[in-house]
Amino acid sequence: MHTVRQSFLLRSLNSRQIRSFSSHLFEINPEVKSALAEHRPVVACETAILTHGLPRPVNIETCLQIEQIIRKHGSIPATIGILNGRIKIGLTQTELEQLGSSKDVEKASRRDLPYLISRRASAGTTVAATMLIAHRCGISIFATGGVGGVHRDSQITGDISSDLDELGRTPVCVISSGVKSILDIPRTLEYLETKGVGVYTFGETNEFPNFFTRTNEVGSRSCAAIRTVEEAAQLVRSMIDLKLDSGLLLAVPIDKEDEIVTNTGKNIESIIEESLQQATKEGIIGNKVTPYVLGKIRQQTGNKSIKTNQNLVYKNARIASQIAACLSSSQP
Ligand code: PSU
Ligand code: MN
């Protein structure tokens, strides 16, 4: 039996031809569900940042703060994660705290979903998994810190984040600070082009930001600058109306005053180089690489990378919320 609201939601999903999960697998929090049914703005958030990206207890504080910022700027946050084998869309504070404080949680990307659900596991969802889940619920806007990408030694390891393929197959606009500089930015952008993903920079220029800093050292550029929230909302509207199946990456440069400053005099690039070499020496591979390198950067910057990471994700949350609000007020 569906409630009136649920039937309305299912009808509206069907009208947009979005495939839903079997209902026993997922749970949409009532506030998110009614916002979706009434076409009010919703912004999805990921939880790999909670379970693997940031240390405790900053992780929980940061995710709660992201939600507050999204609310303050007019949208409803839908933080997505997996708890005991159920996909949750819109974790409650208690659930978020539970996921963020348990030690044995997994990092779930698209490939991991069937296994983790069959094992009734709990997991933080990566950008790829979060996009997939958000889309199945009719959410088109997703705020995060950084997306995965082509790793620097990918010609040897083959390590290319499935976030990129997800962007190529799922129509969600991801608002991030670019891709983390531990990755190979030019090759990441080439790969996104191959997958048909439009990549844009929010601001006055199309310089592609470097996560911890506003610009990248190799001069990479996105397809174009998107100067206002209204322009961004139009872009997302076109993505939806075209029904192409592919997504968008909107890169928001970190504010100048929040760029990373290391306390050792070393620049961030040399810290990254060292951490990557250390990872190779220690035989760290696959989905362990990103969390390992982030941890090393934290140690090497005397935790300054945490503050930078928080500031950039807060900015992304604000802009994502404003874009979602603008998009929903311009419903066709
Ligand atoms: N970038 C960050 N922090 C993170 C991640 C990326 O600054 O926590 C996470 C995101 O959830 C992203 C995932 O989707 O790492 C990519 O992992 P992999 O490279 O294993 O696909
Ligand atoms: Mn990887």
Reported ipTM: 0.95
Closest CA to 289 of 101, 100, 151: 151
- pTM for the whole structure: 0.93
Q: Ligand 1 center to residue 331 CA distance, Å?
A: 32
Q: Ligand 1 center to residue 150 CA distance, Å?
A: 12
Which of 66, 80, 127, 308 should be mutated for ligand 1, with most atoms under 8 A from CB? 127
Rounded to whole angstroms, how far apart are CA atoms 29 and 37?
A: 12
Distances (CA, A) of 247 to 157, 169, 239, 256, 259: 26, 7, 7, 28, 28
Distances (CA, A) of 115 to 86, 95, 294: 12, 21, 26
φ, ψ of residue 52 in degrees (nearest 5): -130, -15
Return the pLDDT at 231. Answer: 98
Q: What is the pLDDT of residues 171-196, one digit of tens each?
A: 999 999 998 878 999 999 999 999 99
Ligand (nearest to CA of 148)? 1
Say whether pLDDT at 88 is over 80: yes
Say whether pLDDT at 261 is over 90: no
Q: What is the pLDDT of residues 132-182, one digit of tens each?
A: 999 999 999 999 999 999 999 899 989 999 999 999 999 999 999 998 878
Rounded to whole angstroms, how far apart are CA atoms 67 and 75?
A: 9
Q: Ligand 2 center to residue 222 CA distance, Å?
A: 22
| Average pLDDT value for residue range 4-18 | 57
* Residue in the structure block whose two tokens are 């990373």: 260
Q: 283 is written with which tokens?
A: 């035989």
Lining ligand 1 with CB less than 6 A are: 46, 48-49, 52-53, 109, 126-127, 145-148, 161-163, 180, 287, 290, 294
Closest CA to 204 of 221, 188, 189: 221
Return the pLDDT at 216. Answer: 84
Active site members = 46, 180
